């Protein structure tokens, strides 16, 4: 049997399979079941910069701005000094998960502007987070915003979060970087400890009847896995950062592939949302059987075995263009 | 960085750092941008302050209302006021506030003439009107009209959407509900918010012109929900909050019932914006007739309305008796025209009755005797009137409940409209028995833990009361139907109307979507209970909401009154949200059974013979 213990961001995990950031954060029973099914760690859903600001501003706008504006009534809601409009409900949840679960709980932060919100990282540490997963997402729509300014802004965010805390910080990226290895080197220099590849988004869709945009949560499929495998295979041995696969892992083979391309841990979400916590036990069993059958006794042996550096036909990782693939097919005959 | 002694921190610290940061930034930026204004030694401006009320305003408005508006009411002698406590209506049109920064501007090429904008407007600040093309001649250059093309009954008329630029509050609800989009640039709708200053002058003169255009006869306008907004509204430009969810119901009622409406109003928001001096939003039609409005106290609106109803009955009875006494002398056709059926919603019959009353007056002028004089003074009572009682949930569920129950039990032809905001809105959001479970309100700061009282079910238990629960911001079709069924019912009716309010804590621009969530989650089921169906063997209760389409939480999470509880005490929120969901399920199960009940067709034994004439 393959030994599943692993180290991620300096934390000792009993398994590389980790519950990724998701609405499961709000379901303690489901998380407990996932841990019982063998999850190595749990990542909470993100504390969103945007949401924190929006929550505060909404309260300000809909409660405070109505105070002393009406001749008939001084206000329209009870006095609300005790209401938490900041991070406190998230922190309470974090403390609860930390005390109820036997595995490390990783908190998640999401924001794009290097501003006051990064101080929440310290709150997360104080509330007992084992590590922080920092989710970077910045959509460039301004033509004067170059890739360099955008990346530098992101590196600044990473630096400011890392400076706030002594616990490790991993960075979750979107798949859209023109020079990923160089940016990853920047992240390493900024003090990040790990990479999570990649973020999935609420993809806006179109409502053709109403002629407007719609937004729905669509669960992943393992068709989304290859782009992750590719990125990890390219980065393995080229960065000092540990890597987590996130997105598209639904079977034990998916998880094995992620490890073979270089992942230290493998996050699972959609399979859990679709199937329930038992999916974690299934994926663990399938992965263990596969890796054992392949003869691996530990995850270290398997990690990166099919990366760009180690794969026998490693050029395939680079031959992504259709025409070149055809050429390759001919020459291989 | 702000310190704890910083007033922004003291005032807003509880809301979080971002609110403090923005307040500090606003103060700093205000200080940084101060610049000195030199006051000249003498007045150099050549503009004069515009008159408080337009020069063409009526005499009373010029002499009395204007001074009150200017804050000079103390200068008025007692003799300036009407001696009997009455107050002229139709004066809110002279109080131009111009508080909106952006107002809706019509794009006639995209308009599908659905009238949704006019239906939802809380201030009657956007209206749709049809008129004879001939009447549009001589209009200002910017006055655009298009042929009415969407309603077969109105073919040949012109159509226009008109904003009242100085009365609009800029709430944006009209644009929100506009369904017509430009196919190549869908964010351009058939109405769009545009800067007031760019359009104020042109639209003000367009509005003045449109108000002078004669209305088409009322009987020409179909009574479906899309056409109803074309009827002239007799409630306009009230002082209600921007986005108010109550006022559209009242406006719609005045459109349906026009000049035959008598209102008894409970004290509350409805009486403040409805009868707030110095101006009144209730107004009159081209004949100078409009709703009569009366407010007594908070707690006795139903009794007041019942008294008005019974007083009217006495007057009508006496007028009819006098008519009977003179029958032998009266022209037969005139007697017939004054005694035949005439329902308040039958426009043709109502117009004929008014005309017959005119003929009666002419005839009486040539007669002699005390009874002749008495009938002359009572002749108008031969035109049926409708008495409606209006109030909020504080009145109907709590403080005036005994009276409301008494009015329903009386069996009298009296209609009660409850504008349910689920709190005492006017006094600042205290809980009432209408407050839903889990909502934070004053006196329920930890979230209300008991269910909302099912006022409709209590009224249904009488069996002789027409009851409906409606939500016109999202379901105006059902609401229009219920209001008309209630009016047509010859007995007491109770309409409970979901009314979005600032005390719910969300941007009321979203009230149509949020109200839909309330309906879809069964927080606010729609139904109509019509006692006329029972003798036909049909269940009196008809559910206009059947399935629960969204979870209760999907509705609750969108309003600060629930969200405050979630943030403060998530566990209690979860418990109360689950209990609210259970309560909705139980109510649905019960209602579905009631709606499936079967009766054998039968004659109503206690159905009093009210004669041929109804509704007066």
Count of all residues that appear for chain B in the document: 616
Q: Bridge partners of B496?
A: B418, B469
Tokens 């595995």 found at: A103
**Residue A141 predicted with pLDDT over 60:** yes
Q: Which of residues 433-452 of B touch A (CB under 8 A)?
A: 440-442, 444-445
Most A-contacting residue of B14, B448, B565 (CB-CB within 10 A), to test interface: B14
pLDDT grade for B613, boundaries at 50, 70 and 90: very low
Question: Closest Cα partner for A16 from A194, A150, A180, A191?
Answer: A194
Least confident span in A144-158, A309-323, B115-129, B538-552: A309-323
Contact of B187 with chain A, judged by CB distance below 8 Å, is answered with: no
Structural domains in chain B plus CATH codes: 1-25 (no CATH), 101-231 (3.30.70.20), 303-382 (no CATH), 386-595 (3.40.50.970)
Q: What average pLDDT score do residues B53-73 get? A: 93
Structural domains in chain A plus CATH codes: 6-332 (3.20.20.70)
Least confident span in B335-339, B387-391, B402-406, B560-564: B560-564
Q: What is the pLDDT of residue A80?
A: 67
Q: What average pLDDT score do residues B76-92 get? A: 92
Of A59, A89, A116, the CB nearest to B21: A116
Percent of the residues in chain B that have a pLDDT greater than 90, as a whole number: 87
Taking CB atoms and an 8 Å limit, are B442 and A212 in contact across chains? no
Q: Are B350 and B386 in contact (CB under 8 A)?
A: no
Taking CB atoms and an 8 Å limit, are B429 and A73 in contact across chains? yes
Q: What average pLDDT score do residues A301-308 get? A: 94
**Residue B616 predicted with pLDDT over 50:** no
C-alpha dihedral, B578 to B582 to B585 to B587, nearest 10°? -130
Q: What average pLDDT score do residues A224-231 get? A: 96
**Residue B604 predicted with pLDDT over 80:** no
pLDDT grade for B1, boundaries at 50, 70 and 90: very low
Q: What is the pLDDT of residues B87-144, one digit of tens each?
A: 999 999 999 999 999 999 999 999 999 999 999 999 999 999 999 999 999 999 999 9
Q: What is the pLDDT of residues B339-383, one digit of tens each?
A: 999 999 999 999 999 999 999 999 999 999 999 999 999 999 999
What is the CB neighbour count within 10 angstroms for residue A2?
20
Residue B74 main-chain phi, psi, to 5 deg = -65, -20
For A105, the token pair is 């709980």
Question: Closest Cα partner for B404 from B266, B275, B540?
Answer: B266
> How far apart are alpha carbons B135 and B242 in whole angstroms?
33
pTM for this predicted structure: 0.88
pLDDT grade for A329, boundaries at 50, 70 and 90: low
Q: What average pLDDT score do residues A261-281 get? A: 96
Q: What is the mean pLDDT of chain B?
A: 93
Q: What is the pLDDT of residue A314?
A: 79
Q: What is the pLDDT of residue B10?
A: 79
Question: Closest Cα partner for B358 from B337, B328, B341, B389?
Answer: B337
CA B528 to chain centroid: 19
Rg (CA), chain B: 27
- Give the ipTM: 0.84
Of B14, B17, B503, the CB nearest to A81: B14
Of A53, A62, A89, the CB nearest to B560: A62
Taking CB atoms and an 8 Å limit, are B186 and A73 in contact across chains? no
Q: What is the pLDDT of residues A63-115, one digit of tens each?
A: 888 888 888 888 898 876 655 556 777 888 999 999 999 999 999 998 777 66
Q: What is the pLDDT of residue A332?
A: 46
C-alpha distances in Å from residue B194, one per residue of B172, B174, B243, B485: 11, 13, 18, 39
For A271, the token pair is 């399979």
């Amino acid at each position: 049997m393959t030994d599943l213990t692993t180290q991620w961001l300096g934390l000792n995990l009993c398994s590389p399979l980790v519950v990724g950031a998701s609405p499961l954060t709000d379901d303690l029973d489901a998380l407990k079941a996932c841990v019982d099914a063998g999850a190595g760690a749990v990542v909470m859903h993100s504390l969103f910069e945007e949401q924190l600001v929006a929550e505060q501003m909404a309260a300000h706008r809909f409660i405070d701005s109505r105070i002393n504006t009406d001749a008939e009534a001084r206000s329209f809601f009870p006095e609300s000094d005790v209401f938490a409009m900041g991070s406190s409900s998230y922190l309470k949840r974090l403390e609860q998960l930390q005390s109820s679960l036997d595995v490390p709980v990783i908190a998640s932060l999401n924001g794009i502007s290097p501003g006051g919100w990064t101080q929440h990282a310290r709150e997360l540490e104080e509330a007992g987070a084992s590590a922080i997963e920092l989710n970077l997402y910045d959509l460039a729509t301004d033509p004067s915003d170059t890739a360099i300014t955008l990346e530098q802004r992101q590196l600044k965010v990473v630096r400011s979060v890392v400076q706030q805390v002594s616990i490790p910080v991993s960075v979750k990226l979107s798949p859209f970087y023109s020079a990923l290895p160089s940016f990853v080197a920047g992240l390493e220099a900024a003090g990040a400890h790990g990479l999570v590849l990649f973020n999935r988004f609420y993809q806006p869709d179109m409502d053709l009847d109403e002629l407007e945009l719609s937004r729905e949560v669509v669960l992943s499929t393992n068709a989304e896995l290859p782009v992750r495998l590719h990125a990890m295979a390219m980065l393995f041995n080229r960065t000092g950062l540990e890597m987590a696969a996130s997105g598209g892992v639904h079977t034990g083979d998916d998880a094995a592939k992620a490890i073979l391309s270089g992942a230290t841990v493998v996050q699972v979400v959609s399979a859990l949302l679709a199937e329930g916590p038992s999916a974690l036990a299934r994926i663990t069993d399938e992965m263990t059987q596969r890796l054992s059958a392949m003869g691996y006794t530990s995850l270290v042996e398997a990690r990166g075995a099919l990366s760009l550096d180690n794969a026998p036909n490693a050029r395939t990782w680079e031959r992504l263009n259709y025409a070149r693939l055809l050429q390759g097919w001919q020459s291989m005959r | 960085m702000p310190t704890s002694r910083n007033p922004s921190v003291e005032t807003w610290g509880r809301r979080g750092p971002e609110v403090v940061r923005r307040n500090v930034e606003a103060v700093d930026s205000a200080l940084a941008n101060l610049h000195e204004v030199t006051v000249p030694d003498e007045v150099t401006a050549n503009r004069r302050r515009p008159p408080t009320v337009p020069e063409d305003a009526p005499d009373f408005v010029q002499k009395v209302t204007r001074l009150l508006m200017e804050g000079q009411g103390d200068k008025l002698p007692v003799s300036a006021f009407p001696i009997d406590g009455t107050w002229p209506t139709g004066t809110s049109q002279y109080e131009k506030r111009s508080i909106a920064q952006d107002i809706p501007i019509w794009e006639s090429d995209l308009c599908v003439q659905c009238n949704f904008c006019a239906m939802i407007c809380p201030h009657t600040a956007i209206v749709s009107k049809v008129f004879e093309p001939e009447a549009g001649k001589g209009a200002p250059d910017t006055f655009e009209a298009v042929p009415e093309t969407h309603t077969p009954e109105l073919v040949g008329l012109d159509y226009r959407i008109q904003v009242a630029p100085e009365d609009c509050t800029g709430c944006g609800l009209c644009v929100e509900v506009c369904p017509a989009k430009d196919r190549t640039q869908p964010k351009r709708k058939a109405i769009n918010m545009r800067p007031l200053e760019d359009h104020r002058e042109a639209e003000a003169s367009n509005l003045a012109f449109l108000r002078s255009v004669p209305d088409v006869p009322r009987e020409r306008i179909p009574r479906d929900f899309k056409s109803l907004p074309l009827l002239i509204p007799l409630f306009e430009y009230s002082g209600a909050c921007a986005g108010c969810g109550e006022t559209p119901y009242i406006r719609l009622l005045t459109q349906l019932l026009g000049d035959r409406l008598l209102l008894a109003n409970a004290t509350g928001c409805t009486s403040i914006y409805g009868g707030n001096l110095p101006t009144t939003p209730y107004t009159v039609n081209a004949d100078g007739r409009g709703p009569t409005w009366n407010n007594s106290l908070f707690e006795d609106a139903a009794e007041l309305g019942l008294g008005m109803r019974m007083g009217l009955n006495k007057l009508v009875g006496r007028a009819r008796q006098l008519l009977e006494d003179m029958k032998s002398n009266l022209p037969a056709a005139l007697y017939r025209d004054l005694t035949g059926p005439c329902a308040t919603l039958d426009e043709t019959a109502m117009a004929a009755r008014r005309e017959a009353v005119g003929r009666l007056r002419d005839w009486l002028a040539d007669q002699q005797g005390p009874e002749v004089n008495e009938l002359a003074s009572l002749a108008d009572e031969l035109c049926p009137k409708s008495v409606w009682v209006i109030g909020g949930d504080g009145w109907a569920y709590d403080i005036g409940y005994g009276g409301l129950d008494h009015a329903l039990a009386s069996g009298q032809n009296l209609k009660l409209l409850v504008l349910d905001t689920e709190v005492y809105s006017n006094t600042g959001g205290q809980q009432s028995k209408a407050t839903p479970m889990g909502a934070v309100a004053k006196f329920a700061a930890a979230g209300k833990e008991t269910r909302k009282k099912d006022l409709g079910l209590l009224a249904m238990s009488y069996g002789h009361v027409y009851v409906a629960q409606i939500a016109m911001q999202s379901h105006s079709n059902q609401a229009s139907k219920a209001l008309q069924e209630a009016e047509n019912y010859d007995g007491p009716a109770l309409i409970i109307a979901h009314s979005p309010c600032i005390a719910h804590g969300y941007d009321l621009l979203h009230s149509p979507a949020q109200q839909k969530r309330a309906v879809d989650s069964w927080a606010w089921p729609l139904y109509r209970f019509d006692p006329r169906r029972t003798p036909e063997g049909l269940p009196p209760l008809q559910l206009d909401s059947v399935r629960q389409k969204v979870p209760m939480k999907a509705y609750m999470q969108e309003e600060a009154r629930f969200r405050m509880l979630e943030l403060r005490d998530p566990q209690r929120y979860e418990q109360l949200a689950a209990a609210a969901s259970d309560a909705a399920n139980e109510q649905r199960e019960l209602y579905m059974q009631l709606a499936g009940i079967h009766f054998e067709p039968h004659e109503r034994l206690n159905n009093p013979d009210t004669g041929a004439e109804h509704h007066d």
